[in-house]
Structure 1
Amino acid sequence: MHQTIEQEMVHTWSAGSKSIKDKSVTIRNLDQDRFVEILQSKLSVRSPVKSIERLFGRDRELELVEEALFDQGGHVFIYGDRGVGKSSLAASVAAQYQSSDNEPIQIPCGKDTCFYKTIEEIAERILRRAGGRRDLEYTHTLNLKLYKLQIKDKERSITISPIDSMFSAVDVMEEMVGVHSERPVVVIDEFDQIESVSERAKFAHFLKDLGDRGVNVKFIFTGIASSLYQLLGDHESSFRQLFTLKLERLYWSYREDIAYSAIKAFDLEVDEEIVHSIARISNGFPYFVHLLTQNLLWSVFKDEQEVSRIERVHFDAAIARSIIGISGRLQRPYDSAVLHKGHDYLLALWATADSEDTVRYGDNIFKSYVRINQQLFGLDPVEADKKPLEPAQFRKILKKFLGKDCGEVLELVEGREHMYSYRENLLRGFVALKAQEAGIELQGDLPDEPRIPTAMARSRFSGGQGRLSAYAADPSKQVKFRSEH
């Protein structure tokens, strides 16, 4: 049933617009190559931002992380939700700290990542960048990797022995950093992907041994929140080697700054409500700001008419483009939650994304559901199946969103019965996009109504007087939410 409702409400990609035909007319007489060049200088959807000039709203975090790297034996762990900008912050601060005689080394992690193999890969990357020519030497059963480097008109041979102990790992790293640069940096990205507890523990031991030996190299780790504790494991003495930073969502004004910066680069005007909608849907995750703004500019570039002002039709096209671009992984849990179910499941799912808060009480989600139902069917619909559910019935749907049959889209907060959050906040953004595509304006710029939490909740969450929120207050008086202007 929900498919019929969605189809009735959805703004189709091409409806009422010529903005996405294949024929491209340039913005300000730009050809496609120049358009892409400018676009990539302002936005980065698929790869981390590597320039501090493009890292809006992270000045304080940049300063803290850079100071931590200057500590002798200090390393950094940046953690937070997916899409919040951990990799971009890590890449930017690595480029800032890394001496100009080379570039930082970046290593992505996977579920089968092995510590010793990772150290070996770092060593090989350093030697290849130094122009090393690799040969293989076989001595009995040992496979030794021999590199020949030309350094200051002199040839130097470096042999990498098999790395099979912590001692050999530190030894190799100590030799490699001298080849790499004056101030070498290694970024270990998505550390949480490593499934093996023992492999994660080796990294913790490694950091301590590097510090004890005084090896001149800095490591920056990124991962989701739980991987912070997985890194330390039972080797808590490594904590003194780590500066840990939880990266929060972007404040409202910075979300808009990203969009405005890219739009102004093309000398375009834009309705402020469009930028407001981008900031609202993003919920403070830079990934969605970059994604929506990039697709917005592509829809303008593809318009048959010369465009000087971005209109709503371009925004509608950007929503459709964005959904197509990220639906591969996120469509499945969305469909599990609403396919072949009554339309109340669809409206309930949209309601979960109807707030600035990422942690919400069930009764506040119910209020969102009632508002959305009224937006669609009016205050007092005649048909019985269009009347909103009773609270008890609605709570049953929310609980089903916790299970596999409904995609496990939600989870309870520390086992509390009536407090919900998204299992993955990227999915929350996808839900907001789907609602917007169907013409439903979610209240992503408004927090939930105040509610007096328990003492446990007050200690767990930050926010205003008695208001439950996982969103820390803005420390800058200059940064305000849109409703506060």
Structure 2
Amino acid sequence: MAIEGYSKEELGARIAEVVSPSQPISSVEFLKGREQELQDVERALYAKGRSVFIYGDRGVGKSSLAATAAFQYQSAEASPIFVGGAKDETFVSMIANIANQALGRSRLHTTKTTRGLALDWRGLKWSWGQELNVKDVTAQLAAVGDAVDLLTEVATVHSASPVVVIDEFDTIGEAEERHKFASLLKHLGDRGVPLKIIFTGIGSSVTELLGAHASASRQLAQIELARLGWEARREVVIQAAQKLGLDVDPNVAWRMAIVSDGYPAYLHLITEAMLWQAADDKDVCDQLTFEHYHLGLRKAIALVSMWLQEPYKAAVLQRPSEMEDVVWATADGEDLWRDTRDMYDAYKVIAEKRQRLDVLDRTNFTKILGRLKTKSYGEVLESVPNRPGWYTYKEKMVRGYVRMQAEAQNMELNGERPAQRQRMHISSNARSGYYESQIPRGARLAFGLDRDNTDKDAG
């Protein structure tokens, strides 16, 4: 192997340890850029009767933060309980799944201890390692109070400090079923049940997901998760490489920070592909270079989930050539909300770099932006409410995929340069979606363009 010290099997196992593109991170060591949020979650859980709701856009790392916090808080004699939402899930089916996970396969006790543990509740008998039919459990859950009784028993048997993670809570189809959890939290808190719940979900507010239930507000801490800041983006790839004895070209780390758009899943996916490219080198590799980056990027693009690829394909495949230029222009900026003028300026630069002979005028460019809101063009964009001429991505993660596609075709989008009006204080969940923007002077931002030149152009 070109990465010294590993057989093929050992390298595969090691790469799987240092990057996690397909499942949540559960270790503080690899959870980058979330120190403050992790502390906020932990402190919230220490309060009696309080649970936590982590919310934000898809792909920002809510599940990883929840899993890491759960393992931090959960007492050592058992593992946290993980269940996931789905369209056909109901309140009672989720409670039944929690009970099964808590008393079945999730136990980490020794065999000697666990074989003697069991729970007998309303004629239902759980024993370690054995799950009950969900229908049998749900038949005993006629009201929220029944769920409170069951979880009280579960908490007693499970561990001293049990934690439940309900991931993708917003995917539960019926709003009425989601709203029942607010009542559950209130009753668990009022009765002093030590079980804690960490919810994750997409949404601009917890009320949107749980429903208005003012009496439960004191039982729920709300933690908003934005995209990763610049330094954390770099740390993901740098640390992963270092764990394998490799350095990273500093400009490669910055290009990844830009193209990933602040989504940890993209960073982990590209890093994984880069490490395998380094392993394929003919000579011993000691640094990840632009060659590894570009080869890895192309591999990563092919591995992105199909639901993220489809909007882009619908917008550009079998379309006039200028469509791809326009789509790239919509992603050439760090802010999640962008106005038509800024996107048109980006489009003109892209068209010039691609040596287009026919450049769209502002009117026709605006018409195409309107098409990108339609289903036949992938519903890439949607209008910003009460802001005429402003757009945002309907699915925010698609922005990152667009940037990856542009980068793979040698069009480096440089969203790190904000306009003067965008340097005003604006909440993280609105325009920019992250807290810091610190591209250093001298960092390579595009072919033949560095930060110093960018600043001069901007001024």
TM-score by length of 2: 0.87
Shift of the 254–189 alpha-carbon distance from structure 1 to 2, 3 Å rule, reads: same
Shift of the 395–149 alpha-carbon distance from structure 1 to 2, 3 Å rule, reads: closer
Q: Is the 8 A contact 1:62 1:89 kept in 2?
A: yes
The residue identity in structure 2 corresponding to 1:240 is R
**What is the match of residue 402 of structure 1?**
373
Which whole-Å CA distance do the structure 2 matches of 1:67 and 1:148 have between them? 33
Which whole-Å CA distance do the structure 2 matches of 1:452 and 1:270 have between them? 31
The structure 2 residue matched to 1:334, chosen from 312, 323, 331, is 312
Residues 161-176 of structure 1 mapped to structure 2, 5 A cutoff? 162-176=140-154
Shift of 1:114: 1.0
Q: Is the 8 A contact 1:445 1:482 kept in 2?
A: no
Alignment partner of 1:421 is 2:392 = yes
Shift of 1:144: 4.7
Which whole-Å CA distance do the structure 1 matches of 2:67 and 2:125 have between them? 30
Alignment partner of 1:480 is 2:438 = yes
The structure 2 residue matched to 1:450, chosen from 420, 426, 436, is 420
- Deviations, residues 195-237 of structure 1 (Å, cap 9, x unaligned): 1011001111111111111111100000112462233313222
Q: Is the 8 A contact 2:234 2:254 kept in 1?
A: yes
Q: Compare relative contact order (CA 8 Å, sep 6+) and give the higher one, 1 or 2.
A: 1
Alignment partner of 1:113 is 2:89 = yes
Q: Is the 8 A contact 1:203 1:231 kept in 2?
A: no
Residues 337-416 of structure 1 mapped to structure 2, 5 A cutoff? 337-377=315-355, 386-416=357-387
Shift of 1:132: 6.1
Which whole-Å CA distance do the structure 2 matches of 1:366 and 1:111 have between them? 39
**What is the match of residue 62 of structure 1?**
38
Residues 172-191 of structure 1 mapped to structure 2, 5 A cutoff? 172-191=150-169
**What is the match of residue 250 of structure 2?**
272
The residue identity in structure 1 corresponding to 2:400 is G
Which whole-Å CA distance do the structure 2 matches of 1:86 and 1:313 have between them? 32
Which whole-Å CA distance do the structure 2 matches of 1:480 and 1:325 have between them? 29
1:392 aligned counterpart, secondary structure: helix
Which whole-Å CA distance do the structure 2 matches of 1:46 and 1:363 have between them? 37
Shift of the 452–165 alpha-carbon distance from structure 1 to 2, 3 Å rule, reads: closer
- Deviations, residues 285-326 of structure 1 (Å, cap 9, x unaligned): 111111111111011112333222323222121111111101
The residue identity in structure 1 corresponding to 2:380 is V
**What is the match of residue 301 of structure 2?**
323
Shift of the 483–77 alpha-carbon distance from structure 1 to 2, 3 Å rule, reads: farther
The residue identity in structure 2 corresponding to 1:147 is W
The residue identity in structure 2 corresponding to 1:64 is D
**What is the match of residue 431 of structure 1?**
402
Shift of 1:484: 8.9
Percent identical: 37
**What is the match of residue 27 of structure 2?**
51
Which whole-Å CA distance do the structure 1 matches of 2:209 and 2:187 have between them? 15
2:221 aligned counterpart, secondary structure: strand
Shift of 1:26: 4.1
Which whole-Å CA distance do the structure 1 matches of 2:95 and 2:374 have between them? 40
Alignment partner of 1:145 is 2:140 = no
Which whole-Å CA distance do the structure 2 matches of 1:215 and 1:308 have between them? 53
Shift of the 320–418 alpha-carbon distance from structure 1 to 2, 3 Å rule, reads: same
Alignment partner of 1:304 is 2:293 = no
Which whole-Å CA distance do the structure 1 matches of 2:15 and 2:257 have between them? 19
The residue identity in structure 2 corresponding to 1:195 is G
Which whole-Å CA distance do the structure 1 matches of 2:141 and 2:102 have between them? 16
Shift of the 230–113 alpha-carbon distance from structure 1 to 2, 3 Å rule, reads: farther
The residue identity in structure 1 corresponding to 2:21 is V
- Deviations, residues 130-187 of structure 1 (Å, cap 9, x unaligned): 546999x9xxxx995322469xxxxxxxx96722211111001001101110000000
Greater mean deviation of Cα atoms: 297-306 or 43-52:
297-306
- Deviations, residues 26-63 of structure 1 (Å, cap 9, x unaligned): 41041122212322222111111101121111111111
2:348 aligned counterpart, secondary structure: helix
Residues 186-225 of structure 1 mapped to structure 2, 5 A cutoff? 186-225=164-203
Which whole-Å CA distance do the structure 2 matches of 1:252 and 1:234 have between them? 36
Alignment partner of 1:470 is 2:440 = no
Which whole-Å CA distance do the structure 2 matches of 1:89 and 1:451 have between them? 32
Which whole-Å CA distance do the structure 2 matches of 1:308 and 1:66 have between them? 38
Which whole-Å CA distance do the structure 2 matches of 1:290 and 1:60 have between them? 21
Which whole-Å CA distance do the structure 1 matches of 2:77 and 2:248 have between them? 42
Which whole-Å CA distance do the structure 1 matches of 2:88 and 2:146 have between them? 21
Which whole-Å CA distance do the structure 2 matches of 1:193 and 1:243 have between them? 20
Alignment partner of 1:89 is 2:65 = yes
**What is the match of residue 153 of structure 1?**
none
Greater mean deviation of Cα atoms: 288-297 or 122-131:
122-131
Q: Is the 8 A contact 2:228 2:263 kept in 1?
A: yes
Residues 10-29 of structure 1 mapped to structure 2, 5 A cutoff? 25-29=1-5
Which whole-Å CA distance do the structure 2 matches of 1:433 and 1:309 have between them? 22
Shift of the 405–143 alpha-carbon distance from structure 1 to 2, 3 Å rule, reads: farther
The residue identity in structure 2 corresponding to 1:392 is T
Q: Is the 8 A contact 1:197 1:230 kept in 2?
A: no
The residue identity in structure 1 corresponding to 2:145 is F
Q: Is the 8 A contact 1:408 1:423 kept in 2?
A: yes
Q: Which runs of 5+ in 2 are unaligned?
A: 108-113, 130-135, 444-459
Which whole-Å CA distance do the structure 1 matches of 2:216 and 2:70 have between them? 21
Greater mean deviation of Cα atoms: 323-332 or 223-232:
223-232
Shift of 1:416: 2.2
The residue identity in structure 1 corresponding to 2:432 is A
Q: Which runs of 5+ in 1 are unaligned?
A: 1-24, 151-158
TM-score by length of 1: 0.83
When the two chains are superposed, the root-mean-square deviation of aligned CA atoms in Å is 2.7
Shift of 1:445: 2.6
- Deviations, residues 14-35 of structure 1 (Å, cap 9, x unaligned): xxxxxxxxxxx34104112221
Alignment partner of 1:104 is 2:83 = no
Which whole-Å CA distance do the structure 1 matches of 2:409 and 2:158 have between them? 53
Q: Is the 8 A contact 2:229 2:435 kept in 1?
A: no
Shift of the 414–170 alpha-carbon distance from structure 1 to 2, 3 Å rule, reads: same
Greater mean deviation of Cα atoms: 34-43 or 226-235:
226-235
